Amino acid sequence: MRTVNIFLGRFIFFVAVGLLFSCTDHADDYADWPVTRGSKKSINYSGLKQIDTSNVKDLEVAWVYHSENNDPENLGVIECNPIIIEGILYGVSPKMKLFALKADTGEEIWKFDPADSIANPKWHLRRVNMNRGVAYWADGEDKRIIYTVGPMVFAVDATSGKLVKEFGDEGGIDLRLGLDRNPEGLFVAPTSAVMIYKDLFFVSGLVSDNTPGHIRGFDVRTGAQKWIFHTIPHPGQYGYETWEDTTAYLKMGSTNSWAGFSLDEKRGILYAPTGNPTNDFYGGRRLGDGLFGNCIIALNAETGERIWHYQTVRHDVWDMDVSSAPGLATITRDGKKIDVVVQTTKTGLIFVLDRETGEPVFPIEEKKVATEDAALGEKLNATQPVPVLPKAFSRQTLTKDDLNNLVDSASYRDIRDRFSSLRYEGMFTPPTEKGTLIFPGYDGGGEWGGGAFDPNTEMFYVNANEMAWVLNLVKEKTEKKVVKTNLEAGQILYSNHCMRCHG
């Protein structure tokens, strides 16, 4: 058996010396990796046992695949969690090229470059160089890889690497269409893998501030849109009354499931985590709880109808998106086995909910939070839900005693003085012009990779991040704004907020 490490446009495979590659040593139902995160339950678990603590030290490089032909101009980070189907590995390069490899040798079978298809005038190939997974669907000899590039969803023949022409418009569909808004000016670019159920696939994804993150179901054969769930509800729909602005559905954006989905195939339930509505840090123009922002939503996979939802943060102004697909686990509670949703969050809190009803399995308290001296026009929620169990996996508060005192005295005084100058009354401190400390931070708690669950031991594992940030609100200037092109605005946003991590 091999394990995968992904770095700078290369796939590097390792093999344990003296062990044979095996696809037949199945310890349980989790012996393959046919879906991003291992299974549609999103529990990041493998049942294979060839590699363990006794032989992991013996791993050696088996092969290296240069997804961009070792071109130094095209190096970048691969965030795609590849899938393996019948010994073939499917992944995406830094420049969004889909490829198929022989998993045991690294030999390339085919590569699909979406740029080669730009001749279709109906397609909109505005790229976002990020892809975190692809999906596989098959019916007899009809085998397809479904993956996204910017606003486009492509269906690629898994055997030949060619577009499936009967899908959408000559092999692709434009996600700007069908959102119940004027498509001009909308920006949609899913980065997480789509989820497939029977002959349907589901999409939401990264969107701009003026684009709603509605969740949609599509026909995997034709690309036709079959249903839409409005994450910013329309009049008459559940949750519409949670927006004080009755026209929010016409103009507000985000509220999107950018982190991907989980699926209970037996029950036919799709689980979607969502981010906060526009704007991330000021809610004066979106007063109210704002469903379905910051929610775990359970939908009927066939119809898109809401079964239940749970909102983890009300009226979020701290960028506390639900940042990963929830894990679907079976745990023992009071001597009984129950099916649950396990959702990690940026706050370091874990919400464990009944999979069918959404009811909390462990107590969740309504914690009173600071609301005084909020920004002009803001109306914050007086309480926020905080689980009693499981215990938080990252620190919930930061004190002077936690500051780094190992630096020189001048640096320590600077850190201490800056800390003292900021407003900080815990995790839900109102954003201010003075400066508000955000902890465990925008990158804190659990991020988009999610946690891992061992169904045999019922142990849950999660990577914990802590990265304090400072949030400063700035009053909007009333003078005439300088008009920038989308490219110029995007370059500024990327330089200010993304370059430090993504290069």
The catalytic residues are 319
Host H or E run for residue 250: helix 248-251
Read off the DSSP letter of residue 429.
Answer: P
SS3 (DSSP) at 185: coil
Read off the DSSP letter of residue 57.
Answer: G
Cα(369)–Cα(482) distance, rounded to whole angstroms? 38
Cα 103 vs. chain centroid, distance in angstroms? Answer: 26
- Inter-residue contact 163 to 169 (CB < 8 Å): no
Kindly list the distances between the CA atom of residue 99 and the CA atoms of 114, 182, 293, 414, in Å, as whole numbers in the listed order: 11, 34, 35, 50
Cα-trace Rg, the chain: 23
Kindly list the distances between the CA atom of residue 198 and the CA atoms of 172, 194, 264, 346, in Å, as whole numbers in the listed order: 20, 13, 12, 32
Cα(378)–Cα(428) distance, rounded to whole angstroms? 14
- Inter-residue contact 354 to 288 (CB < 8 Å): no
Kindly list the distances between the CA atom of residue 244 and the CA atoms of 278, 288, 289, 311, in Å, as whole numbers in the listed order: 14, 6, 9, 17
Read off the DSSP letter of residue 402.
Answer: G
Q: Which of 17, 70, 3, 323 is nearest to 191 (CA)?
A: 323
SS3 (DSSP) at 405: coil
Q: Which of 330, 329, 323, 316 is nearest to 286 (CA)?
A: 316
Q: Which of 67, 74, 182, 172 is nearest to 119 (CA)?
A: 172
- Inter-residue contact 90 to 82 (CB < 8 Å): yes
Cα(270)–Cα(396) distance, rounded to whole angstroms? 30
∠ CA 484-488-493, rounded to 5°:
110
Read off the DSSP letter of residue 394.
Answer: S
Cα(65)–Cα(86) distance, rounded to whole angstroms? 19
- Inter-residue contact 325 to 260 (CB < 8 Å): yes
Read off the DSSP letter of residue 33.
Answer: B
Cα(431)–Cα(280) distance, rounded to whole angstroms? 11
Q: Where are the beta strands (DSSP E) in 362-451?
A: 364-368, 383-387, 436-438
